Amino acid sequence: MEKIGVQDVENLAAGAAVLGTGGGGDPRVGKLMAEQAIEKHGPIEVIQPRDVPDDSFVIPTAMMGAPMVSTEKLPKGDEALKSFRALENYLGGEGFATMSIEIGGLNSTIPLAVAASLEMPIVDADGMGRAFPEIQMVTPTLGGISATPMAMGDEKGNAVFLETVDNFWTEKFSRSVTSDMGGSAIIALYAMNGEEIRDHTIHGSLTRVSRIGQAVMESKSPLEDLLEVTGGYHLFRGKVVDVNREITGGFVEGKAFLEGIEGFEGRLEIEFQNENLIARKDGEVMATTPDLICVVDSDTAEPITTEGIKYGYRVDVLGVPCNDKWRSKEAIDLVGPGYFGYDVEYEPIERRFE
Amino acid sequence: MEKIGVQDVENLAAGAAVLGTGGGGDPRVGKLMAEQAIEKHGPIEVIQPRDVPDDSFVIPTAMMGAPMVSTEKLPKGDEALKSFRALENYLGGEGFATMSIEIGGLNSTIPLAVAASLEMPIVDADGMGRAFPEIQMVTPTLGGISATPMAMGDEKGNAVFLETVDNFWTEKFSRSVTSDMGGSAIIALYAMNGEEIRDHTIHGSLTRVSRIGQAVMESKSPLEDLLEVTGGYHLFRGKVVDVNREITGGFVEGKAFLEGIEGFEGRLEIEFQNENLIARKDGEVMATTPDLICVVDSDTAEPITTEGIKYGYRVDVLGVPCNDKWRSKEAIDLVGPGYFGYDVEYEPIERRFE
């Protein structure tokens, strides 16, 4: 894709919700901001990583905070822009473009609003290829890229800048500040030059969510199309029979239990912490983070969040291979089941299905 | 005073502990840093507010955090310097001098270490004339001076910059970050030009603590000298018969109860939140914040902290008039008994003793 017009945002948001794997925040918040900005400023130019000069830098923008808070505390519309400008100012130069650092969920659409408002291109790439809950959980961390300098802003006009010794400290400080800001903040971070963008991000993310969104929104056989466009596996079809969920410090944590229907036998258990992290069928692991576990409505193929999943829902569960960058030992230490506290070995989903 | 040599630091720290009014952190931490820096770089030049040009700025430096933590987590020595340089860099110019923002307690000595290390003058002034527990509780706030931009640093090398819409937000964010930094942080904030220094700080603070320190350290009748040099009132002499104290989130909060001895009758109750805030004799208020309530050892006149006061101690209690800047209605809203949650009207201590 070369341009993003108002009519494209719907698909992007729908696709982003699928890659949110149950979390990542509600893309509708950013969707409205993006649509308004594009209506006012015109379509957004999409560029590829190869188009970013080595001597310029790209500044990703995002919303940080509890998904549930961010749907209630709607941004005024210019915070993302302000954090972008604040970080530019801090860095002492003009940003060449923005991009999404997290293509799953809300943070696919926030940078669209920024790009449109600043009449600036957006890079067809991201730092996760999905959604993850913490700042350091991006492929640039694996490439030794610092999350900082990072700019944070709230709707009151407060700004906070971080320069930390590693990306775990960035997560720690920014999490506290986000809480002080009322539960969500607009952030700009992981500024990267052309070479860093090419080497350490996941390419083609906007194109990918757009295609996924098309499958959800426009296809007559959305599940089949979803499986094809994501390269995913159909793990299960079932009825939700139980959900144990706790909301602690803005995080959604718990388990959903499904009973098989329409040819699927047994019981599927999904463990989640904001995002779906592990799927077990009758006790046997079928998929784990960083591979994607996506739960969609069986009738509409619309994604269902870990916050929204309820008793009685009839859903399909997809397992989607993550980007190869997530499959090194270092990557599994950063975002694998062990980091989230599960005593489960990561095995690529393709191998589990061999 | 025009110069501060190694031999002067002892008195300054002793005087600062008196103005700490029970809190403000242990001046010994900064004292060692200051002595080492002066030994290496030579005596510090002391300048007056009138000596600061209008087109230059002064950057106060301080340690933020729980007094009890700061005695255990000793700084490496260059953090204060780093925060000063970080804020200079952020402001895009060279600081003309440093100063203390809080002359009571630890933060009288931290800026001495910075001034010596940078071979830079220190201004004979501060922002409190005593110790207070929160960032916004300074006379510059009353003058409409922003605490931000503010730089914070820890011993690991992390740096955080704040730009807030008011000084209460500065307190909120910096408190969380200080906690994340392990309980204490070195900060630089309230950068002011010459005119602002002259109009909105308390002048002569270093001279004052030095004289108070002399009374404690060198006098043969320290209590009389202390009363004279501070212009204070001898509220009570008594034996500590009970202390109720709780430490919550790094704050020391509670009450001390004294029974009169040597000519003093009845019972004195001191309420404290880090600092001593209210003294009541047999139920009648004798002194309240922002006037200073200083508890000193009856034998040595050495100040006793709210953290250290214990059953059996024999102490003298002084009530010292605060600076006039603290006596407007606006000031009482900021640092009076009501702000700390007490249903007591502020009345200047001189009037209570008329």
At residue B75 the predicted structure's pLDDT band, cuts being 50, 70 and 90, is: low
A77 has a pLDDT exceeding 90: no
What's the pLDDT band for A268 if we cut at 50, 70, 90?
very high
Tell me the per-residue pLDDT of B45-58, one tens digit each, with 9 for 90 and over.
Answer: 999 999 999 999 99
The secondary element (H helix, E strand) that includes residue B211 is helix B205-218
pLDDT at A27: 80
Q: Which residue, among B217, B198, B176, B146, has the nearest Cα to B325 in the 3D structure?
A: B198
Distance CA B98, CA B85 (A): 11
Name which of B65, B22, B41 is nearest B272 in CA terms.
B22
Structure confidence by residue, pLDDT tens digits, B170-225: 999 999 999 999 888 999 999 999 999 999 999 999 999 999 999 999 989 999 99
Q: Which of A158, A168, A178, A179 to mutate to test the interface with B (most CBs of B within 10 A)?
A: A158
User: Across-strand partners of A248?
Assistant: A251
Q: Do B159 and A162 touch (CB under 8 A)?
A: yes
pLDDT of residue B203: 98
Residue ranges, comma separated, of all CATH 2.40.390.10 domains in chain A are 223-352
Stretch B127-146: mean pLDDT, rounded?
97
- Is B169 touching A (CB cutoff 8 A)? yes
Closest CA in chain A for residue B172? A180
Which phi and psi angles does B191 have, rounded to 5°? -60, 130
Separation CA B77–CA B325 (nearest Å): 33
B156 vs A156, A165, A179: nearest CB: A165
Mean pLDDT along residues A193-212: 97
Q: Would you say residue B71 has pLDDT above 60?
A: no
CB contact under 8 A, A159 and B163: yes
Beta bridge partners of A317: A236, A295
Q: Please report residues of B whose CB lies closer than 8 A to that of A180.
A: 172-173, 176
Q: Distance from first CA to last CA of chain A, Å, rounded?
A: 34
H or E element in which residue B170 lies:
helix B167-180
Contact between A151 and A90 under an 8 Å Cβ cutoff? The reply is yes
State both tokens at B308. 């250290």
Judging contacts by C-beta atoms under 8 Å, the chain A residues touching residue B156 are 165, 169
**Between chains, do B156 and A169 touch, taking CB under 8 Å as contact?**
yes
Interval A99-150: pLDDT, tens: 999 999 999 999 999 999 999 999 999 999 999 999 999 999 999 999 999 9
Partners of A159 on chain B (C-beta within 8 Å) are: 162-164
Q: For residue A158, give the nearest of B158, B165, B177 by CB distance.
A: B165
Task: Tell me what pLDDT residue B149 has.
Answer: 97
φ/ψ region of B311 (left if φ > 0, alpha if ψ in -120 to 50, else beta) reads: beta
Q: Are A163 and B159 in contact (CB under 8 A)?
A: yes
Is pLDDT above 80 for B69? no
Residues of chain B with CATH 3.40.1610.10: 3-206
The CATH code belonging to domain B3-206 is 3.40.1610.10
Backbone angles phi, psi at B157, to 5 degrees: 110, 5
Cis peptide before A222 (omega within 30 of 0): no
Q: Count how many Cα atoms sit within 13 Å of the Cα of residue B256 in the half-sphere of its side chain.
A: 32
What does the block give as tokens for B75? 């700084």
Q: Number of residue pairs across A and B with CB atoms under 8 Å?
A: 52
Q: How close is the nearest chain B Cα to the Cα of A87, in Å?
A: 12
Residue B250 has pLDDT above 70, yes or no: no
The end-to-end CA distance of chain B, in Å, is: 34
Give the mean pLDDT of A221-249.
Answer: 94
pLDDT of residue B247: 83
The answer to whether residue A200 scores a pLDDT higher than 60 is yes
- Strand intervals (E) in chain A: 3-4, 44-47, 57-58, 61-65, 122-123, 125-126, 150-153, 159-163, 184-188, 192-193, 202-203, 233-248, 251-260, 267-273, 275-281, 284-288, 292-297, 314-320
Q: How far is A158 from chain B (nearest CA, A)?
A: 4
Average pLDDT, chain A: 93
pLDDT, position A78: 67
For the four alpha carbons of A190, A195, A200 and A203, in that order, the dihedral sign comes to positive
- For the residues A170-199, what does the mean pLDDT come to? 95
Residue-wise pLDDT tens digits, B281-314: 999 999 999 999 999 999 999 999 999 999 999 9
A169 touches chain B (CB under 8 A): yes
CB contact under 8 A, B173 and A161: no
Q: Which CATH architecture has domain A223-352?
A: Beta Barrel (2.40)
**pLDDT surpasses 80 at A80:** no
CB count within 10 Å of CB A14 equals: 23
Whole-number Å distance between alpha carbons of B165 and B113: 31
Dist CA A319 CA A127 (whole Å): 20
Is pLDDT at A253 greater than 60 in this prediction? yes
Give residue A195's identity as a one-letter amino acid code. Answer: E
Distance of residue B216 Cα from the nearest chain A Cα, in angstroms = 42
Total Cβ atoms within 10 A of residue A5: 12
| Of B334, B316, B315, the residue nearest B325 (C-alpha) | B334
- Determine which of A87, A146, A155, A163 to mutate to test the interface with B (most B C-beta atoms within 10 Å): A163
Q: What is the pLDDT of residue B74?
A: 56
What integer pLDDT is reported at residue A69 of this predicted model? 43
Question: Is residue A76 over pLDDT 70?
Answer: no
Residues of A in contact with B169 (CB under 8 A): 156, 158
Amino acid B249: pLDDT: 65
